[in-house]
Structure 1
Amino acid sequence: MIRQRGRVTAALFSAVALVAVSAPVAAAGGTGGARHGEHGGGASSVREWLDLLVEEDGVPGALAHQGRRSVTAGTAEPGSGRPMVGAEGRFRMGSNTKAFTAVAVMRLVADGRLRVDDRAGRYVPQLADSPITLRQLLKQRSGLPDYAGLVDWEKPLSDEGYLGLVLREDPLFEPGAEWGYSNTNYLVLGMVIARASGTDYRTYIERTVLEPLGLEDTYWPGPGELTLRGPHARNYGIHPLHPEQGRTDVTDLPAYEFFGASGGLVTTPGDLNAFWDGLFGGALLPRWAVRQMTHDTTDVGGRDVYPRGSRYGYGVASIPLTCGGRYWGHGGDLPGVSVGGGRATDGRGTVTVYTTTVAAQGARLAHLQGAVDAALCGRR
């Protein structure tokens, strides 16, 4: 996962790590997803999937929260005897943040301050000569390389600085020609929000997403703020500055300096579920705007670990369920945490599942996906 001391690869919060963890039916360790309904592991209920994560995969703690019910396994801190935190526990949501950023962009579109076919260079001077549009950024079709693979954790930069690193690289493809997940797309959208709204993207998202939904436990860490506020479990993984230490406590991370509009928000399971319900229940955007986010999509089935039938829209992805229908969400993964879940169609509910170490590949991924699927298919 880490190429060398001081550097973080794109896998830390990129396509496989941040989007694919939300796919409930992909094959464990496979490429391109499994046949509909395959998970492996022999579990059926949410509790059984979480137990597999802890007992077979070595995940310290895992939680699934749906409605007013939480199911947990493991511990909040190995060796402490502390039970795994419940719905009140804070965690880093990783690339679920992209959905919040996409909503903010669409709020500006609904207010007539942006158009999705505007060129990004209209708002970001570094892209003045680029044909890349906001639509392409939202849909991960810009061709911009991922800044996550270029970051030096010992030398944090501004968003403009990270974009500068990207623009020294060759594009992955011509804008609009292909689909390719890149955190840079949402880094740029954060810059667009700031220019179009007249305030920084963090403040704008607070005003237009967090406050209207009453998400009091969701927040942006401040500059230099490493730890998590309030109750939380400890997180374990490979620290990007000290990979030679192996798996260690990575609860404290410089989220403000590195994750930003692509993956910087902290939340709770209850708050994240409330966000999905608010978005798809019409509390944040006009109906036409939500429809555009979920209908102007790209087929990503068979790519990375997406199962057949998956589609990526504007900061949200649709994933088939084994019981029929699908759910809309995203997914997130950072050093020490993986998150999956979203809101299902046909009134099946909303769920957040997260683990206190990375579960982005192999059996861990299949078991996390299984827990999401079991919850939304009513197998508690």
Structure 2
Amino acid sequence: MHRTSIATAVLLATAVIGVSVPEAVARPVDPVQRQLDLLVNSDGVPGALAYDGRATRTAGVADRETGRAMVDERGRIRLASDTKAFTATAVMRLVADGRIRLDDNAGRYVPQLAGRRITVRQLLKQTSGLPEYTALVDWTRPGTSEEYLALALAEKPVFDPGSDWGYSNTNYLALGMVIDKVSGVGFRAYIEHTILRPLHLDDTYWPAPGELSLRGPHARNYGIHPAAPEAGRVDVTELPGYEFGASGGLVSTPKDLNAFWDGLFGGRLLPHWALHQMTRDTTAIGGRDVYPAGSRYGYGLASIPLSCGGVYWGHGGDLPGNSVGGGRATAGRGTVTVYTTTWAAEGDSLRHLQAAVDAALCTRRR
């Protein structure tokens, strides 16, 4: 019997004997899962994840070849530019301890910047005008911070210090050198001592020199390799993470990253006035780089408006093989990390990633 015949028979039986046929109860659509599914099914992202402290939602796979299930909130991920929030927090720890001042000339701590009117505050706020160094580096061989900074300083400044805003990894490369000088132990050890250990971020680490792979459970990462763009999307899981330094070198997990945001904004890392300074001395950046209308940039932190009102504070991170978004929302709406296993920093993929963050923070919490 055809489907139409079956439906007709049911309707006739209902009319004759007065039996009602219960309607199917549609399950409500999870708005976060919907955005993750769009990333995978519409944008071609191999795998995506969202972790809000209570639940982990995933879409796609962790490995395209084996079809292995996507990792959970304990899977290792490269934080990329989310590292900047850790570096900025470490600088503010030094400020709070009276070891440096925000309006100190950066050349006081970084000899290569001597003679340039660039302050520590301008490095934090991305208002120094320093050119981007990452596009100038030969990533096939290791280099030093001094060598990388020299590449940027050989270029013409993008603008005069303090006259504009321009995102540049060079600012945080230089801040790492500031921490090196003032702490006496190097920025990696100082961040471990003042942030990672106090918050018990045991799955967060700095890659060792020459270390290319990720430790522990992790998804494979896919993207356009800058050294061979003609090959298309390839496996780029192995990268020289140590070389990304203070601007992008940390490896962590969604669980640990959420704990960092909660620890920072919960007052466990800095005195209140220092955190207030990081989030109040800001620049309007809506519509610039990857930031939507209404966004502002402070000290290694950005505020993004939420569709349900208020904002969330965090930072994004992008590499050829992954993107990370999220942070902690105002008004007690919670914390979330969204992660993709390929670069998702423009077009529909960026909108879907940002919408997943927004949905996780705005959905009514039960």
CA RMSD of aligned residues (A): 1.2
Give me the whole-angstrom Cα distance separating, in 2, the residues matched to 1:167 and 1:156: 19
1:341 and 1:350 in contact (8 A); partners too: yes
What secondary structure sits across from 1:180 in the alignment? coil
Find the counterpart in structure 1 of residue 35 from structure 2.
49
Counterpart residue identity of residue 89, structure 1: G
| 1:107-122 superposed matches below 5 A | 107-122=93-108
Is it true that 1:199 corresponds to 2:179 in the alignment?
no
Report the alpha carbon displacement of residue 44 of structure 1 after superposing the two structures with TM: 6.7
Q: 1:356 aligns with which of 327, 332, 341?
A: 341
- Change over 3 Å in CA distance of 1:379–1:64 after alignment to 2: farther
**Does the 8 Å contact 1:44/1:379 carry over to 2?**
no
1:74 partner letter: G
Structure 1 residue 241: deviation in Å? 2.5
Shift of residue 151 of structure 1? 1.1
Q: Distance in 2 between matches of 1:379 and 1:263?
A: 33
Secondary structure of 2:128 counterpart: coil
Does the 8 Å CA contact 2:46/2:341 hold for their aligned counterparts? yes
Of 55, 70, 78 in structure 2, the residue corresponding to residue 84 of structure 1 is 70
Q: Distance in 2 between matches of 1:216 and 1:305?
A: 30
After TM superposition, give the deviation of residue 128 of structure 1 in Å. Answer: 1.1
In the TM superposition, residue 299 of structure 1 has moved relative to its aligned partner by 0.9
Show the counterpart of 2:136: 150
User: How far is the alpha carbon of 1:307 from its aligned partner?
Assistant: 2.3
* Separation in 1, partners of 2:316, 2:290: 12
Q: Which of 167, 170, 175 matches 1:181? A: 167
Structure 2 residues without counterparts, runs of 5 or longer: 1-28
Corresponding position of 2:82:
96
* Structure 2 CA distance for aligned equivalents of residues 186 and 262 of structure 1: 5
Aligned to 1:29: none
1:45–1:379 Cα contact (<8 Å) kept: no
TM normalised by structure 2 equals 0.90
Q: What is the letter of the counterpart of residue 301 of structure 1?
A: G
Amino acid at match of 1:177: S
Instruction: Name the amino acid aligned to 1:306.
Output: Y
Judge conservation of contact 2:290–2:345 (CA < 8 Å) in 1: no
Kindly indicate whether the alpha-carbon contact (under 8 Å) linking 2:220 and 2:341 is maintained by their aligned counterparts in 1: yes
**2:272 is equivalent to residue 287 of structure 1:** yes
Closer/same/farther in 2, CA of residues 379 and 340 from structure 1, 3 Å limit = farther
Q: 1:167 & 1:82 partners in 2: Cα distance?
A: 45
- Give the match for residue 288 of structure 2: 303
Aligned residue runs from structure 1 range 313-332, under 5 A = 313-332=298-317
Of 320, 327, 343, the match for 2:328: 343
Q: Which amino acid aligns with 1:344?
A: A
8 Å CA contact retained: 1:46, 1:379: no
In the alignment, what sits opposite 1:369?
354
Partners in 1 of 2:46 and 2:290 — Cα distance? 24
Report if aligned partners of 2:344, 2:350 keep a CA contact under 8 Å in 1: yes
Letter in 2 for 1:199: V
Residue number in structure 2 paired with 1:126: 112
What displacement does 1:379 show? 6.2
| Pairing 1:253-292 to 2, within 5 Å after superposition | 253-257=239-243, 259-292=244-277
Alignment deviations for residues 90-139 of structure 1 (CA, whole Å, 9 cap, x no partner): 01010000000000000000111010000000000111111100000000
Deviation string, structure 1 residues 168-223 (Cα, Å, up to 9, x no partner): 11101110011111000000000000100011100000000100000000000000
Please list the CA deviations of residues 148-174 of structure 1 after superposition, one character each: whole Å capped at 9, or x if unmatched.
Answer: 121111233200001111111110111
Compute the displacement of 1:82 (Å): 1.2
- Is the contact between residue 337 and residue 355 of structure 1 (CA under 8 Å) also seen in structure 2? yes
Contact 1:144 1:182 in 2 (8 A): yes
Partner residue, 2:363: 378
Three-state SS of the structure 2 residue aligned to 1:346 is: coil
Distance 2:57 2:138 in 1: 38
Residue in structure 2 matched with residue 5 of structure 1 by the alignment: none
Alpha-carbon separation, structure 1, partners of 2:285 and 2:318 = 19
Counterpart CA distance in 1 for 2:357 and 2:315 is: 12
The answer (yes or no) to whether the contact 2:128–2:160 under 8 Å persists in 1 is yes
What is the CA–CA distance in structure 1 between the aligned matches of 2:80 and 2:154, rounded to whole Å? 26
Match for residue 61 of structure 1? 47
Deviates more, 1:145-154 or 1:190-199: 145-154
Give the whole-Å Cα distance in 2 for the aligned partners of 1:100 and 1:294: 14
In the alignment, which residue of structure 2 is the partner of 1:168? 154
> What is the TM-score with the length of structure 1 in the denominator?
0.87
AA matched with 2:52:
Q
Quote the sequence identity (%).
72
In the alignment of these two chains, the number of paired residues is 337
The answer for unaligned runs of 5 or more in structure 1 is: 1-42
Q: Which has the higher contact order (CA 8 A, sep 6+)?
A: 1
Q: Does structure 2 conserve the Cα–Cα contact (< 8 Å) formed by 1:95 and 1:332?
A: yes
Q: Secondary structure at the match of 1:340?
A: strand
Q: Is the Cα contact below 8 Å between 1:98 and 1:315 reproduced in 2?
A: yes
Q: Which has the larger radius of gyration?
A: 2
The aligned amino acid for 2:261 is W
> Aligned ranges for residues 235-246 of structure 1 at < 5 Å?
235-246=221-232
